[in-house]
Structure 1
């Protein structure tokens, strides 16, 4: 949870610095966010390629494991579409925010690039909240629903920040499912977000 709070603090600090005029104009332009996005994608590639478990995970992958990320995506899109009925944003914009699957660092940059800073901020906060809800309510989700519930709730974060809490309350046997779930959702985020932003 400390990592999420640190990200929120950095976001508030950045917004405050820009509001006070302490940020150079060249950092506020469209080009700067695109370059940051490229660096972010490069770092994501590094972290996935460096993980020695990747080959083992892919070798032991069974088709049935793919049902959970599919269910997570369908549930997220259904929830986002339902929420759009009560929001000032269009359904496609709400679906773009939901398509972040708790991958706030990537989805918020894409959404800011396509739809502007306001919706990008909504995406950042919504996806951070998804991760925080998973961290806080994982024990209750396991007890009241199923060991798969916190994995689905965690979205793309189940390979890193929420994995320890899922392992602790759901059990070690769900580590493999959590990692595959997050990998699939991680790869899908850029495609889904840009698709809904272009609608």
Structure 2
């Protein structure tokens, strides 16, 4: 939760600076954001490649473990498509692009800003931060009403890192491997799905 508050604080600070201070044009151009995106993709690759425990755990598990992230991806996309009918000013592809962030607010919001503009990028940032906060704060309620896989599904791409301690605490250690595999699988889908929905 501390990480999410830090991210939100930096975002609010950026909005206030952009609103009340004359920022040099070089900082508001597309090039710095694009380079930040390249750096993020590189770091994501390092993170996944260096997590030997997670990759080893994947090899030891039955292929049914992949059904959990698939259910998360499909369920999120269906929900995003349905919500588009209630939003007259947003297309179904806009909603699907935002939903495809799966809680990975830093990467997805940069992609969406690049393709669709700052307004939708900001919506993606807030939406995905709210998804992570819901997983962090409502895990006990999610387990009580929907079962132990619910916090993992709600956590989306964050279940291999920021929401993993909460999932371990409330779901039990036997769900750690599922959570890590889920997080990595959903994580990998983000750049592909967001780009796809932003460009069709």
1:22 Cα offset (Å): 4.1
Instruction: Point out where structure 2 has 5 or more consecutive residues left out of the alignment.
Output: none
Is it true that 1:17 corresponds to 2:14 in the alignment? no
CA distance in 1, matches of 2:154, 2:72: 8
Equivalent in the alignment of 2:132: 131
Equivalent in the alignment of 1:84: 84
Instruction: Point out where structure 1 has 5 or more consecutive residues left out of the alignment.
Output: none
Equivalent in the alignment of 1:6: 6
Query: Cα deviations across residues 77-121 of structure 1 (Å, max 9, x unaligned)?
Result: 111111111112111000000000000000000000000000000
Aligned partner of residue 23 in structure 1, secondary structure: coil
CA distance in 2, matches of 1:180, 1:188: 13
In the TM superposition, structure 1's runs of 4+ consecutive aligned residues that sit over 4 Å from their partners are none
Is it true that 1:69 corresponds to 2:69 in the alignment? yes
Is it true that 1:152 corresponds to 2:153 in the alignment? yes
CA distance in 2, matches of 1:63, 1:27: 46
Provide TM-score, normalisation by structure 1.
0.97
- The alignment of Structure 1 onto Structure 2 pairs a total of residues equal to 199
Query: Cα deviations across residues 124-174 of structure 1 (Å, max 9, x unaligned)?
Result: 000000000111110011111110000001000001111111111110000
Equivalent in the alignment of 1:100: 101
Aligned partners of 2:140 and 2:170 also within 8 Å: yes
Equivalent in the alignment of 2:166: 165
1:63 Cα offset (Å): 1.2
Provide TM-score, normalisation by structure 2.
0.96
Farther off after superposition, 168-177 or 80-89: 80-89
Equivalent in the alignment of 2:191: 190
CA distance in 2, matches of 1:172, 1:197: 38
Aligned partners of 2:54 and 2:177 also within 8 Å: no
Query: Cα deviations across residues 28-53 of structure 1 (Å, max 9, x unaligned)?
Result: 11111110001111111222222231
